[in-house]
């Protein structure tokens, strides 16, 4: 059948071998302003139906050649989804014959002699039904097209996420992982990379929600993770960068719970920072050797008040230990009664399994616990056989190349300070032009502490005592943000000097000066950083990492010589 314009009046096919009957029906239909096509028998009716669009058929039953039953079957077969109503016009009253009409595909009856009122009522009813059917079919087609487009977009996004998160480090010896989204896309994220010194860095995270909305932050996070790790960023610095990115780009109700794990192959230790994730477990000898619970806010929740505060907790690694980390899709799996699998069950499975079987057994137990119910949350699980990783997974470490001696100076005014954090670019400069990768984090801490000291206490005149009240940190950094937004004058100068011939951090000299009135630095130093003295603890940390710390009166300029061999 051809297609007709939507505004054209409907066309009726009248099929009857009795010319008088056909003329009567034709007159009644013409009176309604409808188009009419006639056929003298069933065979001709099928031909007419093929030649042009038909909206309704008025079909006689008893005809030569091909009767109404067979003609109806052929018409319905030619238009399986078009829904062209076929109304049988018959003098038969036998119930068995009428049932045959329905079996042949007929939709209704008109009994002879024809009643104008009955005919018009039937026509109106079936035209309304056909119009509704066409509307439903159009909506179905539109939904189907939309669904196909949505699936294409999801599959494209899935490929983007897969490419963004792919890493050969996930193939490290002894490392096993399971990653399954609740929908096509996942809010869970699993990243692995090698630091320049050879250490393995793992990030197991969970964005708020699941599906497309939860996955939007994955590529950006992965890009920062891989690029910054390749450039030698320490885990603490990496967390600061990711937090900044997520805070700027994500909606207020979205954030990233994350466990960042470093396996230090040189020192034989494990470092973990956990914010909002289930515990990270160190399993050994059928028991829990160590757990690393959540200790901080997820990333993207708040703007950083001070750089470098997210410190990994390190512990020495015993032989025979296995590392396990997961998203809440494991611990929050539910059974038929709504009970959670829970942390305790996870620990029971891991400690009750042979070391090499814990990973597979945990997945199997979670599957049995959940049963055949739909997976409600994204699921990620990673396990590391640390003995095998240490035996087979080492790679030659490297640092930045040694350069000639150089110095650089950066001066930031009030407007710039409100929008730029100068610490990461300075660290990148040190890394690119001579500082060893192993010293990067200690240098980061020193520069960040000196800069924050100059900004918060030199220019903004904040009182650190506020931090020690209930809710003090939140209040302090809220006041910091307010004071920084209102800062109209002042500047901070940072000068970094590097002796390229030095083999350790001893060749790095950092000087920070602010235009503020200074402070009584002697009191702070003599107090050893105790009590509630402003910035005292930060300065004590700087003194522990530097071989020389010199303040210049009135306390608004400080020069330090980095000692080297500090934080890893």
- List the domain range (segments joined by +) for residue 217: 166-392
Helices 440-453 + 536-545 axis angle, to 10: 150
Does residue 324 belong to any structural domain of this protein?
yes
Q: Mark out the alpha helices in 200-319 (DSSP H runs).
A: 212-215, 218-230, 235-249
75 shares its domain with 132: yes
Q: What's the pLDDT tens digit per position in 211-243?
A: 677 778 888 999 999 998 887 788 888 999 999
Phi, psi of 542 (to 5 degrees): -60, -45
Residue 2 has pLDDT above 60, yes or no: no
Q: What's the pLDDT tens digit per position in 331-379?
A: 999 988 889 999 999 999 999 999 899 999 999 999 999 887 766 678 8
pLDDT the model gives residue 299: 92
Does residue 2 belong to any structural domain of this protein?
no
Is-cis flag, bond preceding 61, omega within 30?
A: no
Contact (CB, 8 A) for 415 and 279: no
132 shares its domain with 187: no
Last residue of a domain, one of 342, 362, 392: 392
Q: How many CB atoms sit inside 10 A of residue 15's CB?
A: 31
Confidence grade of residue 309 (pLDDT, cut at 50, 70, 90): confident
Taking the whole predicted model, whether its pTM rises above 0.85 is answered as no
Last residue of a domain, one of 341, 362, 392: 392
Q: 74-95 burial, b for 16+ CB within 10 Å, e for fewer?
A: bbbeeeeebbbbbbbbbebeee
Residue 566 has pLDDT above 60, yes or no: no
178 shares its domain with 322: yes
**Least confident residue range of 77-81, 117-121, 312-316:** 77-81
522 shares its domain with 417: yes
332 shares its domain with 384: yes
Q: Mark out the alpha helices in 79-115 (DSSP H runs).
A: 95-103
Contact (CB, 8 A) for 328 and 298: no
Span 509-525, average pLDDT: 84
Most confident of 135-144, 145-154, 465-474: 135-144
Span 14-18, average pLDDT: 90
Confidence grade of residue 532 (pLDDT, cut at 50, 70, 90): very low
381 shares its domain with 253: yes
Does residue 4 belong to any structural domain of this protein?
no
385 shares its domain with 420: no
Does residue 261 belong to any structural domain of this protein?
yes
Q: What's the pLDDT tens digit per position in 290-300?
A: 999 999 999 99
461 shares its domain with 505: yes
Q: SS3 sequence, 386-447?
A: HHHHHHHCCCCCCCCCCCCCEEEEEEEEHHHHCCCCCHHHHHHHHHHCCCCHHHHHHHHHHH
148 burial (CB, 10 Å; 0-12 / 13-18 / 19+) is exposed
The CATH number given to whatever domain includes residue 25 is 3.40.50.2300
Mean pLDDT of the chain: 84
- Structural domain count, the chain: 3
Does residue 256 belong to any structural domain of this protein?
yes
446 shares its domain with 364: no
Does residue 419 belong to any structural domain of this protein?
yes
Does residue 460 belong to any structural domain of this protein?
yes
The CATH number given to whatever domain includes residue 267 is 3.60.40.10
Ramachandran bin of 477, using left for φ above 0, alpha for ψ from -120 to 50, beta for the remaining angles: alpha
Q: Please give the Cα distance from 439 to 399 (Å, whole number).
A: 10
Most confident of 396-410, 501-515, 545-559: 545-559
16 shares its domain with 93: yes
User: Computed from CA positions of residues 351, 353, 358, 364, in that sequence, does the dihedral angle turn out positive or negative?
Assistant: negative
Does residue 568 belong to any structural domain of this protein?
no
Q: Please give the Cα distance from 350 to 354 (Å, whole number).
A: 8
181 shares its domain with 322: yes
């Amino acid at each position: 059948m051809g297609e007709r314009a939507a505004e054209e009046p409907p066309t009726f096919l009248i099929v009857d071998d009795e010319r008088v009957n056909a003329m009567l029906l034709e007159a009644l239909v013409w009176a309604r302003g409808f188009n009419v096509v006639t056929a003298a028998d069933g065979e001709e009716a099928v031909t007419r139906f093929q030649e042009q669009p038909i909206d309704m058929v008025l079909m006689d039953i008893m005809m030569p050649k091909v009767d109404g039953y067979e003609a109806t079957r052929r018409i319905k077969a030619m238009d399986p989804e078009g829904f062209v109503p076929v109304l049988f016009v018959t003098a038969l009253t036998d119930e068995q014959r009428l049932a045959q009409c329905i079996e042949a595909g007929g939709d209704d009856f008109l009994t002879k002699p024809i009643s104008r009122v009955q005919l018009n009522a039937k026509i109106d009813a079936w035209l309304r039904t056909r119009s509704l059917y066409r509307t439903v079919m159009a909506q179905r087609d539109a939904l189907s097209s939309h669904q196909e487009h949505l699936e294409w977009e999801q599959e494209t996004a899935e490929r983007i996420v897969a490419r963004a998160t792919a890493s050969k480090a996930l193939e490290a010896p002894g490392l096993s992982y399971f990653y399954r989204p609740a929908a096509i896309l996942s809010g869970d994220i699993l990243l692995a990379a090698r630091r320049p010194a050879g250490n393995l860095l793992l990030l197991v995270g969970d964005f708020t929600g699941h599906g497309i909305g939860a996955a939007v932050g994955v590529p950006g996070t992965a890009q920062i993770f891989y690029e910054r790790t390749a450039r030698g960023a320490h885990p603490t610095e990496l967390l600061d960068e990711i937090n900044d990115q997520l805070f700027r780009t994500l909606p207020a109700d979205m954030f990233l719970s994350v466990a960042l794990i470093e396996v230090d192959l040189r020192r034989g230790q494990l470092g973990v920072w956990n914010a909002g994730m289930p515990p990270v477990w160190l399993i050994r000898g059928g028991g829990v050797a160590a757990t690393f619970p959540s200790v901080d806010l997820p990333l993207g929740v708040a703007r950083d008040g001070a750089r470098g505060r997210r410190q990994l907790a390190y512990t020495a690694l015993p032989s025979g230990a296995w590392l396990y980390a997961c998203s809440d899709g494991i611990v929050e799996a539910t059974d038929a009664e709504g009970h959670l699998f829970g942390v305790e069950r996870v620990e029971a499975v891991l400690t009750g399994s042979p070391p090499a079987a814990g990973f597979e057994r945990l997945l199997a137990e979670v599957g049995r616990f959940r049963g055949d119910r739909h997976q409600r949350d994204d699921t990620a699980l990673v396990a590391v056989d640390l003995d095998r990783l240490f035996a087979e997974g080492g790679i030659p470490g490297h640092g930045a190349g040694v350069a000639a001696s150089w110095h650089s100076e950066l001066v930031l005014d009030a407007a710039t300070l409100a929008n730029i954090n100068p610490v990461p670019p300075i660290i990148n400069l040190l890394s690119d032009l001579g500082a060893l990768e192993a010293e990067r984090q200690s240098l980061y801490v020193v520069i960040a502490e000196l800069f924050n000291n100059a900004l918060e206490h030199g220019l903004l005149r904040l009182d650190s005592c506020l931090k020690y009240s209930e809710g003090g940190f939140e209040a302090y950094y809220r006041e910091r943000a307010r004071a920084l937004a209102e800062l109209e004058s002042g500047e901070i100068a940072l000068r970094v000097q590097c002796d390229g011939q030095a083999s350790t951090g001893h060749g790095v000299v950092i000087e920070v000066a602010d235009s503020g009135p200074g402070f009584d630095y002697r009191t702070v130093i003599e107090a050893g950083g105790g009590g509630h003295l402003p910035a005292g603890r930060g300065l004590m940390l700087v003194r522990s990492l530097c071989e020389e710390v010199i303040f210049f009166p009135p306390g608004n300029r400080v020069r330090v010589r980095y000692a080297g061999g500090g934080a890893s």
